Homo-oligomer: A and B are copies of this chain.
Amino acid sequence: MTPADLPTPALVIDADAFERNLATMAAALPGGRLRPHVKAHKCTSIARAQQGVGHDTFTCATPREVVGLARAGVGDDLLLANETVDRGRLRTMAELETAVTVAVDSVETVDAAASAGIHRCLVDVNVGLPRCGVAPEAAGRLADHARHRGLEVRGVMGYEGHLMMVADRSERRERVGASMALLLLAHEQVGGDVVSAGGTGTFDLHEGTGVTEVQAGSYALMDTDYGRQELPFEQALHLVGTVISVGDGWAVADVGLKALGMDHGNPSVVGGIVWFCSDEHLTYQPGEAVQVGERVTVLPAHVDPTVAMHDVAWLVRGGEIVDRWEIDLRGW
């Protein structure tokens, strides 16, 4: 079977590019220096491939991702790099055989974790992105409270998400350094072995900052937004669509916004210029004449939410479909 035989829209992974991305990252951040973020792919098979190149620790954004990985037996150290006070989900995570660590940034999140039987936490520190994370100067006090509640405090985490898309690399490096200084300040008060930070956009900017592990995820598949940066990772994911209509100066493919994360804007179409997306349509201007029934290649602007809209991804090598990977970690 080839991509031309797939019902569309279909999510397709270029196996060679994907494996090169994994190898490049594993060479830069081997073993536990990378804690791959599974939110970017929500796919146990991809996590297993990441494990195959040496990473046994994983980052998750939802309890569902933690529980799915653990039940599939992938990884031996799973981090929920996000806050939750959902006692049912915390209890489910606490009962897993795999070691689970959760991020905490308040007395409430500490208490919820401790009450549910969770044993390990990282103190989540605000390093400049107005989102989760305790103020650096309050991190030590929160760690004390967590230890008082019986939690092992393994260290700190901080996500410099506001810096992922800073275009100039030297400016990005400088600002990452300033963010990590805040994280290290917190770490001095918190203690523990772990200083966890970063993402694909800053994966190689943590040398000398004291960061012990990087939480990158998008590098495995990539998207057009990260593609504009000078990163050593290739576009390994695309959508295959079918041209369903040809107008006077435009064509329409069946890859609509219900198949694409739209928060970073429109996708790109190979050999054409995108006009707009509707629920089930992509209207674009083709570079040369196309016919109804032709296949079209669409590159998403943002990989994480795009993958989360699909049940399955197809692995392609040398023009042949060689595997079918379930996107099995969707939901919450």
A16-24, A205-213, A241-249, A313-321 - the one binding chain B: A241-249
In contact, A308 and B248 (Cβ under 8 angstroms): no
CB contact between A245 and one of B62, B106, B250, B311 (< 8 Å): that residue: B106
Main DSSP-derived SS at the A contact region: loop
Taken residue by residue from 1 to 33, chain A's Cβ proximity to chain B (1 for < 8 Å, 0 otherwise) reads as: 000000111000000000000000000000000
Q: Is A39 an interface residue (CB 8 A)?
A: yes
- A108-B291, A108-B293, A332-B7 are contacts. A135–B280 as well, Cβ < 8 Å? no
Q: Is A292 an interface residue (CB 8 A)?
A: yes
Q: Is A89 an interface residue (CB 8 A)?
A: yes
Q: Is A86 an interface residue (CB 8 A)?
A: yes
In contact, B9 and A332 (Cβ under 8 angstroms): yes
Chain B neighbourhood of A249, CB < 8 A? 130
- Alpha-carbon distance A109/B292, docked complex (angstroms): 8
Chain B neighbourhood of A254, CB < 8 A? 84, 332
CB contact between A83 and one of B135, B245, B263 (< 8 Å): that residue: B245
- Alpha-carbon distance A308/B256, docked complex (angstroms): 12
Q: Is A115 an interface residue (CB 8 A)?
A: no
- Chain B residue nearest in CB terms to A40: B279
- Alpha-carbon distance A280/B39, docked complex (angstroms): 9
In contact, A292 and B331 (Cβ under 8 angstroms): no
Chain B neighbourhood of A281, CB < 8 A? 82, 131-132
- Alpha-carbon distance A261/B86, docked complex (angstroms): 24
In whole Å, how far is A16's beta carbon from the nearest beta carbon of chain B? 27
In contact, A130 and B275 (Cβ under 8 angstroms): yes
Chain B neighbourhood of A88, CB < 8 A? 7
Taken residue by residue from 121 to 138, chain A's Cβ proximity to chain B (1 for < 8 Å, 0 otherwise) reads as: 000001000111101000
